[in-house]
Amino acid sequence: MTSASSPASTIAVTELSRRFAGPPEHLALDRLDLTVAAGEFLCLVGPSGSGKTTLLRILAGLDRGFTGQLALPPGLRAAIVFQEPRLMPWLTVLDNLLLVAPTGDATAASRARALLEEVDIAGFADAYPGQLSGGMQRRVALARALLVAPELMLLDEPFVSLDMPTAEHLRQLVTRLWRGRRTTSIFVTHDLREAMALATRILFLTRSPGRAALDWRPDLPPPGERGAAEIEAAVTALRLRYPRLLEGEIGS
Amino acid sequence: MAIAPGGPPRGTPTPAGRQLWLRLGSFVLLLLVWEAAALILGSRVLPGPAEVAAAMRRAAESGELFFNLGMTLYRVAVAFILAMALGSGLGILMGRSALADRLLDAWLIIALNLPALVVMVLCYVWFGLNDVAAILAVAVNKIPLVATIMREEARRLDRSLIEVGGAFHLSRGRIFLRIYLPQLYPGLFASARSGLALIWKLVLVVELLGRPNGVGFEIRTLFNYFDIAGILAYSIAFIAIVLAIEWALLIPLERRVTAWRRR
C-alpha cells in the first residue's frame, strides 16, 4: 500500500487487476485506476462480469489476490452491505448488530438501538431475521454496517431482489443516512436509474475484463433533492448520448 | 434433526396436560405387562416390579447401588467428553480441509467398522486392567461416529455468513463461537444424544470385562448368582439416570440454542 500523492482521506486504486484462476480462467479487473474523495457517493455501474463486486470485495479486504496498488487511509473503518442480508438466523436483530461491535464497547447496545430507530425497525429488536420481510432484513444489514461507524461504506447491489416500492423506500433511506453522515460510499448496481438517484458520481465499467468506461458526475441537485422527472430525464439524456453504455461500451 | 419429545405435533393443538397423561398411562401399561409376564413366567425367570423395587432398595440401603452407579457415571462422563471433543475436532477438520479428509477417510472407515469388543480387549491388553484403558476403549468406539456426523455438519457450513465475520474484522475466537458453532449445534446435539445412549452401554461391557466396580461389574456378579431382580434393579436405576440427563440437561439445552427455529 502506497499513497504518496493523494490526501489522507481519499481512496485510490492504481493499475488494479484481478485474475481468477478459474476454470474458466478470466480477468475480472484490468488495470483499473480510481480515486474516490472523502464524502463522495460513487455508484459503480456495469454489465455482469465487469468486476464491480470484485472491486468492492478488494476494498473490503475480502479479496487479496489482486495486483496493482490499493491506497486506503491508514486505519480506515470500512463496512459492507452484501447483496443478500447475511444476517445470523440464530441471533435476534439487536444481537446481529452487537455481533460486529468491538468487544467491551459499553455504548454499543444504545447505539444499536438508536440505529434500529433510524432505519425504522426499532420495534423488531428482539425478533429473529427469519420473522422479517426481505426489506426489513436489508434495513438490519444497513444498521449493522453503520454500527461500526464506517468511514467507507460499501454496498453490493443491496436491493436487487426486492419489489420496486420496497427498493425505492430503501434507496431513500440510504440517501437520508448518507446526507446525515457524508460517509464515503461505493454502491454497486446495474440499474442506471438507481445510480442516477443516489450518486454524486457514477463510474461505468466495461464488460469483462472491467475497465473504466466513463466517469460521470450527474448534473443534478444533490441526492435526496432530485425529483423523479429529473432523474428520468438524466437517464434518458445519458442513454441517448451513449446508447450502449449499460453493455459497457461508450463507442458511438 | 431430531424432534424433541414432549412438543405437540405441528398443527394439532394438543394440551400439554394430555401429553403427560398419555406418558403416564403408557408407563403404567408397561408395569402391568411386566407384572403379567412375571406371573406367567414365574419370579425365578422374571421377577415382578415389586420384587425388583425391593432389590433396588436393598442395594441402595447398603450403599452399593450409589457407589457403583457413581463409578459408571464417572466413566461415562469422561468417555463422553473425550469422544465428543476428539470426534468433533476430527470431524470439523475433515469437513473443512479436503487434504485432511483424503488423508483420514480410510482410517475413519476402518475405525467405524472395528468391533467394539476388539477395541476393549486390545486396550486392556496394551494398557492394563485400569480405568484409563476402559475409558479409552469406550471413547475410541464413539469417536468415529461423532466425527462422521460432524464432518457432514462442517461441510454444510454457510461460508457467506463466515465471511461476514471477516468483513467486520471479528476475532477468530468470536467467529468460531458466534458464527461457526451455532451452525454446528444440530450435529453436536445429534452426536451427544446418540453418544450418551451408546457410551453407557459400552461402559457396562468394559466394566464387565475388566473393572472391579461399576454397574457392569455388579451385573456380572449378580449373573453368577442368577439374581435377575438385582440385574434389573441396576439396569433400571441406570436407565433412569440417563433419561434424567437427557430430559433435564440435553433437551432443555437443545431447545434453548435452537429457539430461533421455532419462531
Is the per-residue pLDDT at B14 higher than 80? no
A85-117 pLDDT, tens digit per residue, is: 999 999 999 999 999 998 888 899 999 999 999
C-alpha to C-alpha distance for A96 and B179, rounded to whole angstroms = 11
Q: What confidence tier does B262 reach under pLDDT thresholds 50, 70, 90?
A: confident
In terms of Cα–Cα distance, which of B79, B56, B82 is closest to B240?
Answer: B56
Q: How far apart are the first and last CA of chain A?
A: 38
Residue A84, domain member (yes or no): no
Q: Mean pLDDT of all residues in chain B?
A: 89
Would you state the cell numbers that stand for residue A29, as one nine-digit string?
479487473
> Do A182 and A241 lie in a common domain?
yes
Same domain, A67 and A115: no
Residues A224 and A110 in one domain: no
Q: List Cβ neighbours of A231 (8 Å cut-off, separation of 6 or more).
A: A193, A196, A197, A220
CB contact under 8 A, B167 and A84: no
pLDDT value, residue A140: 95
Three-state SS at B217: helix
The reported pLDDT for the residue numbered A145 is: 93
3-state SS, residue A148: coil
Same domain flag for A252 and A164: yes
Q: Which residues contact A35 (CB under 8 A, 6 or more apart)?
A: A6, A10, A11, A12, A13
Q: Are residues A167 and A213 in the same domain?
A: yes
Whether residue A82 is contained in a domain is answered as: no
Within-domain flag for A173: yes
Average pLDDT across chain A, whole number? 88
Tell me what pLDDT residue B2 has.
Answer: 42
Looking at the structure of chain A, the number of domains it has is 2
pLDDT per residue as tens digits for the range B132-151: 999 999 999 999 999 999 99
Of A102, A121, A149, the residue that ends a domain is: A149
Mean pLDDT to the nearest integer, A237-244: 87
Give the CATH number, domain containing residue A57: 3.40.50.300
In a domain, A18, yes or no: yes
Residue A25, domain member (yes or no): yes
Mean pLDDT of B171-190: 91
Asked if the structure places residue A196 within a domain, the reply is yes
The answer on A121 and A40 residing in a single domain is no
- Domain holding A226, by residue range, is 1-77+156-252
Q: Which residue has the cell 479428509?
A: B101
CA distance B192 to chain A (A): 20
Residues constituting chain B: 263
Mean of pLDDT values over B157-169: 92
Dihedrals phi, psi of A27, to nearest 5 degrees? -100, 115
Q: Is residue B13's pLDDT more than 60?
A: no
Interhelix angle B64-96/B131-155, rounded to 10 degrees, is 40
Do residue A119 and residue A95 come from a single domain? yes
Over 90: is that where the pLDDT of A58 sits?
A: yes
For residue A163, tell me if it sits in a domain. yes
Strands of the sheet with A26-36, listed across from one edge: A26-36, A11-20, A67-71
Q: Which of A149, A173, A188 is the last residue of a domain?
A: A149
Instruction: Mark yes or no for CB contact A99/B167 under 8 Å.
Output: no
Q: Is B182 within 8 Å of A88 when comparing Cβ atoms?
A: yes
The percentage of chain B sitting over the pLDDT mark of 90, rounded to a whole number, equals 72
Question: Does residue A179 share a domain with residue A61?
Answer: yes
B106's grid cell: 480410510
d(Cα A213, Cα A215) in Å, to the nearest integer? Answer: 7
Residue % of chain B over a pLDDT of 70: 94
A196 and A133 in a common domain: no
Are residues A196 and A144 both part of a single domain? no
Reported as a single tens digit per residue, the pLDDT across B79-129 is: 999 999 999 999 999 998 999 999 999 999 999 999 999 999 999 999 999
List the single best residue of B168, B178, B256 to mutate versus A (max A Cβ within 10 A). B168
CA atoms of B50 and B232, how far apart (whole Å): 12
What was the pLDDT predicted at A247? 75
Chain A CB contacts of B181 under 8 Å are none
A76 neighbors A148 (Cβ within 8 angstroms): no
- Tens of pLDDT along A115-164? 999 888 999 999 999 999 999 999 999 999 999 999 999 999 998 888 88
Judge if A72 and A167 occupy the same domain: yes
Task: Give A55→chain B minimum CA distance, Å.
Answer: 14
Smallest CA–CA distance, residue A146 to chain B, in Å, is 11
In the listed set A149, A164, A183, which residue is the last one of a domain according to the structure?
A149
| Bond prior to B47 in cis (omega within 30° of 0) | no
Residue A54 has pLDDT above 50, yes or no: yes
A83 in any annotated domain: no
Mean pLDDT of B58-64: 92
Q: Kindly report, residue by residue over A187-202, the tens digit of the pLDDT.
A: 999 889 999 999 999 9
Same-domain check for residues A56 and A134 = no
Supply the pLDDT for residue B263. Answer: 67
Q: Which domains occur in chain B, in start order? A: 49-262 (1.10.3720.10)
